Amino acid sequence: MAETILGKIPEPRYASFGKFLDANGQIIDQGIALYFPAPNSYTGEDILELQGHGGPAIMNLLLTRCLSAGARLAQPGEFTLRAYLNNKIDLIQAESVAAIIEASTHEAARCAINSLQGQFSARIDELVSLLITLRMLIEAILDFPEDEIDNLQALQIKKRLSHVRTQLEQIFLAAQRGNLLQEGIKIVLVGAPNVGKSSLLNQLVGDDAAIVTEIPGTTRDTIQRTIAIAGIPIHIIDTAGLRETSDVVEQKGIERTHAAIKNANMVLQLVDSSQHLPDIKDQIQKCIPFDKPLITVFNKIDLLNQQPRIEGEKTDIRIHLSAKTGAGIELLREKILDIVGWQFNQAGEGVFMARQRHLEALNQAKENLENAQTFTENESQLELLAEELRLAQYALSAITGQFTADDLLGEIFSHFCVGK
User: Each residue of 148-197: pLDDT tens digit?
Assistant: 555 666 678 888 999 999 999 999 988 888 888 888 888 988 888 788 88
Answer whether 325's CB lies under 8 Å from 300's CB: no
Distance, CA of 391 to CA of 396 (rounded, Å)? 9
pLDDT value of position 245: 54
Distance, CA of 121 to CA of 245 (rounded, Å)? 54
User: Which range marks the domain in which residue 27 is found?
Assistant: 2-73
Which range of 227-236, 345-354, 410-419 scores highest in mean pLDDT? It is: 227-236
104, part of any domain: no
The CATH code of the domain that includes 52 is 3.30.1360.120
Q: Which of 114, 75, 78 is nearest to 96 (CA)?
A: 114
241, part of any domain: yes
289, part of any domain: yes
The CATH code of the domain that includes 323 is 3.40.50.300
179, part of any domain: no
- How does residue 218 score in pLDDT terms, banded at 50, 70 and 90? very low
Distance, CA of 184 to CA of 265 (rounded, Å)? 10
226, part of any domain: yes
Same domain, 192 and 324: yes
Q: Which of 304, 324, 339 is where one domain is finished?
A: 339
pLDDT value of position 176: 86
Same domain, 63 and 190: no
**Mean pLDDT of the 339-365 span:** 77
27, part of any domain: yes
Same domain, 68 and 201: no
**Mean pLDDT of the 210-218 span:** 40
pTM value?
0.70
Q: Which of 37, 58, 73 is where one domain is finished?
A: 73
**Mean pLDDT of the 319-344 span:** 86
63, part of any domain: yes
pLDDT tens for residues 267-326?
888 888 887 655 544 556 667 777 788 899 999 999 999 999 999 877 789 999 999 899
Q: Which of 339, 365, 385 is where one domain is finished?
A: 339
* Residue 83 CA from chain centroid, whole number: 22
395, part of any domain: no
Domain count of the fold of the chain: 2
pLDDT tens for residues 250-264?
556 667 777 778 888
